[in-house]
Each structure stands twice: as structure tokens, then as C-alpha cells.
Amino acid sequence: MRIDEEIRKELLSSDGHMGEITFSSEVCPLPRREGTIKILKEMGVNNIVHIGCCGHLHNIKKQVESNTHFHRMLINDFEKVIGFDIERQAVECLSSFGISDIYTKDFVEEAGDVERIILNSFGDSPYLVLLPEVLEHIPNPVAFLEKVARHHGSRKNKILISVPNAYGFGRVCGMLFHNREEINMDHKYMFTPTTILKVMCKAGIIPEEIVFLDLYKYSRIFKKPVLGNTIVVTGRFEKESEL
């Protein structure tokens, strides 16, 4: 679903009125990794900067051996992919499988080092900042995205963010039938479709398209893509980098 100027105007409002955004009923039946790759290909992306590239340490070996590790999947599908992760042990583990161009760096706190690595990798070519299942781990997502925009903002560059959906079918059922919420205990936030769009706008990122992935069987049957377990939003930067 495209995010037009009328929706953006509503997202930027903060006067406390009760707004309403109606989401498309168009269904994308793909799971998160495959769906994200499809979206990236449709965007015509060549160069990708993958934040949180390793994933959970205890899953790396199993995912690499089963060809389901997301960073390796990206490497197979795109011209140039570099990755950053704050967990040194995870980077060392993933590197042991022959995967190069991944770095133990805090993407915003070590921005100078990150910028030099990106420049050496891509030169002046545009790139996409990929933040898959990362933002929910960040204590202050708006401040984090503001720093990303400050260092990587360019009319040429793009951004793709995916987050767990608070309205995911399985989560809604857990609450509705069992009064239970299952959550990764490192998560600080659970986003709704509208709140992730507002967070991006607040940080100076212009959302362009929103897609719902990881749809459960019944949400597909009843044409309720908004109940997908994962929200994916693509966008562009409002201002040029200050650097």
C-alpha cells in the first residue's frame, strides 16, 4: 500500500484528534525473509547496508546450514551487501562460515567508522539501509532513526524497516483466548501499523509503502493482511545528510 501525501499529513499531526488510516486489503502471502527480498528487488536495490546482520547467535549455525540465514540470502540476491552488528561473538560466528564484509560496530554510536566502511564499499553509489526486526530492541527508536537520517540521509538512499506487528493474528488470538502475550524479552516496543509510520515521520523519514508479511492462514482467508505478524515499511530521507 502506497503512503500518499494525505496519509503523511495525517501522520504528522499531533493535536490529539482521533485520526483514522484505512489499510489496503491486498494480501502478500510470503514470509518475512522472502517477502522482504521481493520488496527490495521491486525497489531496484543494488547495494544494501544490513543492520543487525547476524541475528540471534544460537540460530546462526542452523540457519546457515539450512540456507535460511537472512544475510546469506541477501548476499545471494543482491550485488553488494555489507552488514553491521553490535555482538562480536555473533559476527565471529557468522564470519566462520565464509561470510565477509560484516563488522562489529554500533551503527549510530560509531557513525564515523561506519561511514568510512560504507564509502570504501559503495563509493558514491546509492544504498539502502535495511533495519529488519531491529527497531523494537532500541530504547529510543525516534532518536535512533534521527541519527540514521543524519548520517545516511540522501535523496539517493532508501530505507526499509520491518518490525513485529502488535495486531499480528497469533498475538491477537493469544490475548483474546488465553489472556497471554509471548514476547522476546529484549523487545522494548511492539508497533502498530500507524505508530511505526509516525515514528518514521517524527525522525525525518518519509514512508512510501507499507506491506504486511507472515500472514496466518485465517488472516489470508478473510483478506486481513493487517493481521500479518510483520510490518514492512519502505521510505526515503526527508533531508540530505548533515555530514
**Could you report the per-residue pLDDT of 47-58, keeping only the tens digit for each?**
999 999 999 999
Residue 184 C-alpha cell reads as 522476546
Q: pLDDT class for 239, splitting at 50, 70, 90?
A: confident
Q: What are phi and psi of 153, to 5 degrees?
A: -60, 125
Give the CA-trace dihedral at 195, 198, 202, 204, to 10 degrees: 120
- Contact partners, residue 43, CB within 8 Å, separation at least 6: 128, 158, 160, 234
Helix (H) or strand (E) holding 104: strand 102-104
pLDDT at 29 > cutoff 60: yes
**Could you report the per-residue pLDDT of 84-115, keeping only the tens digit for each?**
999 999 999 999 999 999 999 999 999 999 99
pLDDT value at residue 242: 58
How many beta carbons lie within 10 A of that of residue 66, not counting itself? 8
DSSP assignment string, 189-235: --B-HHHHHHHHHHTTEEEEEEEEES--HHHHHTT-GGG-SEEEEEE
**Cell 543482491 belongs to which residue?**
78
**Could you report the per-residue pLDDT of 159-214, keeping only the tens digit for each?**
999 999 999 998 999 999 999 988 888 899 999 999 999 999 999 999 999 999 99
